[in-house]
Amino acid sequence: MESNVRVRFAPSPTGPLHIGGVRTALYNYLFAKKHNGTFILRIEDTDQTRYVANAEQYIIDALKWCNIPFDEGPGKNEKFGPYRQSERKDIYKKYADILLEKGKAYYAFDTPEELTAQRDFNASKGKMFIYNWQNRQEGKLVNSLVLSEEEVQKRIDAGDKYVIRFKIPESEILYMQDEIRGRITIKTNTLDDKVLFKSDGMPTYHLANIVDDHLMEISHVIRGEEWLPSMPLHVLLYRAFDWEVPDFAHLPLILKPIGKGKLSKRDGDKLGFPVFPLEYTNEETGDVSRGYKEDGYFADAFINMLAFLGWNPGTQQEIFSLEELTQKFDFERVNKAGAKFNLDKTKWFQQQYMQTKDDAELANLFMPILEKKGINKNIEDVKKIVSTVKERAVFVDDFLGLAIFFFETPQEYDAKSVKKSWKEGTTDLMKELITVVAKIEDFSSKNTEKEIKEWITSKEIGYSKVMQPLRLCLVGKLAGPHLFDIIAMIGKEETILRLKNAIEKL
């Protein structure tokens, strides 16, 4: 298996890529890389009525941002290409004809009106209409199983619309194996004869999917559980062609954080979180949907979070690099049940990754925010500021609020902090402190702390009587990182200015 693993992520370009689709791509990628295999992107665009022009590029951009690039796909290493189904139309008719010749499929000429009439008739009898072994040869339906070859050809030559349906084997028990769900058994008599091909020259998903997977030598089909009902048909199609059946793995759904059912864009809009990796603009309506990237999430935090929506390593470890996920991932640890999306946990992953980021990387992300606010600081100072506040931040956008006192003299003071720290005699202490600060030559954090604490000790007063009001003067409230780091960063002149400003206002 190590050298022959080939998996594919096969989205339809009908809109932005949902995080459920990203997780499917991720699990395919992890499995392929663990086994030194190949990860393929195939665009399944046979349904041209739902095709969205910018969706394919969005899919490619999303995979790139997530750092799960494909090995083969549109425009890249196209040894089994083309990788868009709309460019493979000529291939599918050949395989539909093979099934016709083998007696595994048949032409059906029933009009939509005729099929509606059959459904209505069955409904009036309290039954459900299924196009299958029970009724396909009763004479009520118009297909090549009841028409002569001459009649069939005459209809085709006359331009009558038709579909090619798969002939489901009658009265068989089909045994299948799923990597996640184990053994699955189904009676073929419960299945309907699905449409494989239409007279407009376009295949349905079922035929195109099977043919492409075979021709692209896909070894493992890893997809969402919504495709589980299609598994019997696909296995039967492989068997009908006498092709080797790939291994199947059907992934659990990502569920709403509240209530039941599959996570949707509506849930994200209602509860305030994105369900797409990147921001997406609907070209027809102009509507903009939020993306994790634009909301400030790190790609590696996003991917780590997604990996845990349906899988776990069986240990207490939760923070994994992409390489570690690749080493640990296997189907045995993928859950059968759906995984509830948890916004708090998503932010937790983001915060964990914030702590591991290099200060220089974070500073470079923070600089444009400062520039937009008209704040000019050199990168070295910004790196130092970031290092003092990042442990309390979730997003880079949080830095400005957490660190504003590094850039601006407080103009207002928190009322609760004032009440707690500014007592009788505090004003005189702060005036005396100005004199102490003015005499300090080495204004490093370590030295200012030493000098000021020695002065406090010499006065035989508690540290809090000085340290709390000093923090209030510098920050505007009793919050912030190490006080003497702030002093060293803003400098002597600004420290004295803030002390005087507070004395005047308080």
**Residues carrying an active site annotation:** 265
Q: What is the DSSP string of 42-87?
A: -B----GGG--TTHHHHHHHHHHHTT---SBBTTB--TT---BGGG
**Strands 339-340 and 254-255, how do they pair?**
parallel
Residue 344 phi/psi, 5° resolution?
-60, -40
β-pair partners for 276? 291
- Determine if the peptide bond prior to 313 is cis (ω within 30°): no
Q: What is the DSSP string of 449-487?
A: HHHHHHHHHHTT--THHHHHHHHHHHHSSS-SS-HHHHH
Residues 319 and 194: their CA atoms lie apart, in Å, by 44
For residue 243, give the nearest of 265, 268, 214, 264 by alpha carbon: 214
For residue 404, give the nearest of 468, 482, 490, 499 by alpha carbon: 490
Place of tokens 């003071």: 413
The helix/strand/coil state of 328 is: helix
How many Cβ atoms from other residues are within 10 Å of residue 463's Cβ? 11
Query: What one-character DSSP code corresponds to residue 256?
Result: P
Residues 49 and 202: their CA atoms lie apart, in Å, by 12
Dihedral in degrees, nearest 10, Cα atoms 131, 134, 137, 142 = -20
Residues 488 and 506: their CA atoms lie apart, in Å, by 24
Residue 359 CA: distances (Å) to CA of 343, 388, 398: 26, 10, 15
**Residue 156 near residue 202, CB atoms below 8 Å:** no
Structure tokens at 146: 């009841």
**Residue 108 near residue 165, CB atoms below 8 Å:** yes
Segment holding 23, helix H or strand E: helix 19-34
The amino acid at residue 260 is K
For residue 205, give the nearest of 118, 85, 109, 298 by alpha carbon: 85
**Residue 437 near residue 496, CB atoms below 8 Å:** yes
Residue 282 phi/psi, 5° resolution?
-75, 115
